[in-house]
Structure 1
Amino acid sequence: MNWDRVQGNWKQLKGKVQEQWGQLTDDDFDKIEGRREQLVGRIQERYGVAKDEAERQVDSWTSNH
């Protein structure tokens, strides 16, 4: 799935994103609003990983869905 589809279907996909990254809060999801860079940033903050690792996780999740 490409990121445009994720962004367009954000409300429907939030549950799947929350399954993958359970430490993200509802407030995080409201701020992310389907934007990839915001998701990467929130993953960095909540999980304490580097930007390239967060991007790798997002890319992996996107390709699997």
Structure 2
Amino acid sequence: MADEKFYYNPATGEVTQGKVESWDNRMGPYDTREEAEHAIAIAKERTRRADALDEADDNWGATPSWEKDEK
């Protein structure tokens, strides 16, 4: 079965159908050519969301007494 998905090559800015480039020059797969053309914007948005989730997960509330600075 042929690979019908689309991929974005960040080195060249080209969109290909199928796994034409090696994995280190390939973002995807995407269902449409239009999605692949916006791969960088999609990746930036996914990173922003993941960073927000990480930040929320890191916020456990008050600092434990053993980590508070003594004066």
Asked if TM exceeds 0.5, the reply is: no
Higher helix share: 1
Length-normalised TM-score, structure 2: 0.27
More strand by share: 2
Name the structure, 1 or 2, with higher relative contact order (CA <8 Å, separation 6+).
1
TM-score, length-normalised on structure 1? 0.29
